[in-house]
Structure 1
Amino acid sequence: MTHRTWLEPLRSRLAASGLTLDDLVGLSGYSKTRLSELLRGKGYYPGWSITYSVVKALDVPPWPLRRLWTAAAREAEKDDKWIKDGIYSVQPLGPENPPVAHRGFKEVMNHPYTAYAKTFLQTDGRAARVVAETFDILWLNWDKATSSSNTPRHAWSLLRAKVMARAETHDGHPDLRAAAMRTEAVAKSVSSDEYLDRITRMAAFFEAVSRLSDDQLDVTVLRFLCHIHEDAVPGIVGLPPVITHSLHHHARGALQDLHPGTETNAHPQE
């Protein structure tokens, strides 16, 4: 999965550059056969040395691509020594210099993106990895992201796809049962009967939320599970305020239909 994530920007950059594979051979110092295997994503998982030679030849930002390469190497079951040896075999990359606009976007979106990801992926580590991957992909494709008519929507769609690809499912929907248990785990000062009742009600709420349409689900999760202020939600998901308000309104109606008595005025995590 992550292997394709970093291959696609390389392929796109090669196509846009006008360079031929023969040109890349001359610039990288590697054979046409090995470069062809790398760019097709076939055969062995490529080492960092050959990957970096292509990155450098195509003037691709090396830092985000190296992180994605490292994550994909782990998915390919390469051990830490193999990864580190590959990284140390080439020259240091120097300081990171993401576009200023990308850096600002990351600062604004890091918290809501991470909160959203954790709702579905359960742990801080898994959420942080998906969010970091999203920002690295955005950096690699920043020109494309900013040339779209709606950069926040472009970025949100990317994040959502990454989260849902890793989220557990239940009956064909995102599985939020663990989030329900985690939410009520802090309820220490109630009787066992009241605690079980709260768990039951919370599980019903989360089950109903998981069955909402995609946009309704996102708005509801951000508002009531991540505690994002309603005025901030449109900018996060890249939709006009009137649309997010409508989605919230219809989500409440859908929740009532799915589980009568479901209340979304209260914050379920409090």
Structure 2
Amino acid sequence: MIWPPDADQPLPPDTSTRRGRPPAPISATAGLSHRAWLVPIRGFVFASGLTFDQLAERSGYSKTRISDLLRGNGYYPAWQFTSSVVHAAGLPLEPMLRLWKAGAREAGRDRDWIESGIQQVALHFEPAPLPYRAFADTVRTPYTAYARAFLLTDHRAGWVVGESLDILWLSWQQASTSDNLPRYAWQLLRNRVMARAHHHDGHPDLRTAVFSTAEVHDHMPGHLVALTELTDLFDAIGRLSPDQMDIAVLRYLCAVPPDTTARLVGRSTAVTHATDHHLRATLEHLLPDTPQE
């Protein structure tokens, strides 16, 4: 079974406990960066059928500690412990290290604690699979453009794209065997962007993207009117359905060609064209007096 790339999967069965015991979800105290690596690891372990007994034997840590690790319970785990469990599960350490470091900073761990933990482990990174590298090279630029529309700065956009591609690498065994790899990867990116985007009235807030997307100058006639119209238009785009919003952002805010947009979101060209038609009709209905070119 292929799990969604950003779902809160249950834990694998613990053979030492009674049958029917419900799996525990990720702790509510785990932050966004902590969850970024917890979710794919839990998904992989569950899908693989590995038990706590097997992980304990391979890693050298107790089942209780492994259970707490996979649930995000307690203090943020040290790299020595985390890497042992990840290695025992057969997952790549290079993307995991970057994700773990981001989670450690989010949890308030200082630089000395992070670097000291890393130095205690002999790291032997294996190269990323060639298909993954080819895919990541292809999507990185348009992914960053999409993320920038919501996160506004190159630094924030690049960071979230890097995080998303590291999660994809960590999940590559599942992603590469899914029915639609581009769709799997796109949903992963989208979830990471939306988790960090500012929201307004329950919708992603694209209004501030006007200032980084539009060439509107103070000396131009009708400057305030044009700015207001664009702000209303971008706000309306943020209220579209997810598929419509994604295509609107890629096509009209990021200037991604139609065929490339279809490949990025994992939809056929015909479906993407139809979605584009419907979103334009929706915007024209919501904002009949606003130019949308």
TM-score by length of 2: 0.83
Match of 2:58 in 1: 27
Cα distance, 1:14 vs. partner? 3.8
Matches within 5 A, 1:68-79: 68-79=99-110
Match of 2:161 in 1: 131
Contact kept in structure 1, 2:213 and 2:253, CA below 8 Å = no
Which of 119, 127, 131 does residue 149 from structure 2 map onto?
A: 119
- Tell me, in whole angstroms, the C-alpha distance in 1 between the residues paired with 2:172 and 2:225: 48
Cα distance, 1:114 vs. partner? 0.6
Matches within 5 A, 1:1-270: 1-15=32-46, 19-94=50-125, 96-184=126-214, 186-188=215-217, 191=219, 193-264=221-292, 266=293
- Tell me, in whole angstroms, the C-alpha distance in 2 between the residues paired with 1:139 and 1:196: 46
Cα distance, 1:167 vs. partner? 1.0
Query: Which deviates more from structure 2 when the two are superposed, residues 123-132 or residues 42-51?
Result: 123-132
Gaps of 5+ in 1: none
Aligned residues: 262
Amino acid at match of 2:183: R
Query: Which deviates more from structure 2 when the two are superposed, residues 102-111 or residues 23-32?
Result: 23-32
User: Residue 246 of structure 2: SS of its match in structure 1?
Assistant: helix
TM-score by length of 1: 0.89
Provide, for residues 226-264 of structure 1, a one-character-per-residue CA deviation record: whole Å limited to 9, x for no partner. 010112111010111111111111111111111113333
Higher relative helix content: 1
Q: 1:203 to 1:19 in 2, by over 3 A?
A: closer
- Tell me, in whole angstroms, the C-alpha distance in 2 between the residues paired with 1:16 and 1:214: 28
Cα distance, 1:15 vs. partner? 4.2
Cα distance, 1:113 vs. partner? 0.7
- Tell me, in whole angstroms, the C-alpha distance in 1 between the residues paired with 2:238 and 2:48: 44
Cα distance, 1:137 vs. partner? 1.2
- Tell me, in whole angstroms, the C-alpha distance in 2 between the residues paired with 1:81 and 1:236: 40
User: Residue 147 of structure 1: SS of its match in structure 2?
Assistant: coil
Cα distance, 1:40 vs. partner? 2.5
Contact kept in structure 1, 2:56 and 2:66, CA below 8 Å = yes
Identity of aligned residues (%): 49
Amino acid at match of 1:207: D
Gaps of 5+ in 2: 1-31
Q: 1:262 to 1:71 in 2, by over 3 A?
A: same
Q: 1:228 to 1:17 in 2, by over 3 A?
A: closer
Cα distance, 1:20 vs. partner? 4.1
Q: 1:201 to 1:115 in 2, by over 3 A?
A: same
Provide, for residues 21-46 of structure 1, a one-character-per-residue CA deviation record: whole Å limited to 9, x for no partner. 34433432333433332122211110
Q: 1:18 to 1:145 in 2, by over 3 A?
A: closer
Q: 1:192 to 1:262 in 2, by over 3 A?
A: closer
User: Residue 121 of structure 2: SS of its match in structure 1?
Assistant: coil
- Tell me, in whole angstroms, the C-alpha distance in 1 between the residues paired with 2:136 and 2:120: 31
Q: 1:214 to 1:84 in 2, by over 3 A?
A: same
- Tell me, in whole angstroms, the C-alpha distance in 1 between the residues paired with 2:141 and 2:186: 13
Query: Which deviates more from structure 2 when the two are superposed, residues 143-152 or residues 21-30?
Result: 21-30
Provide, for residues 40-80 of structure 1, a one-character-per-residue CA deviation record: whole Å limited to 9, x for no partner. 22111100011111122222100111111111112212122
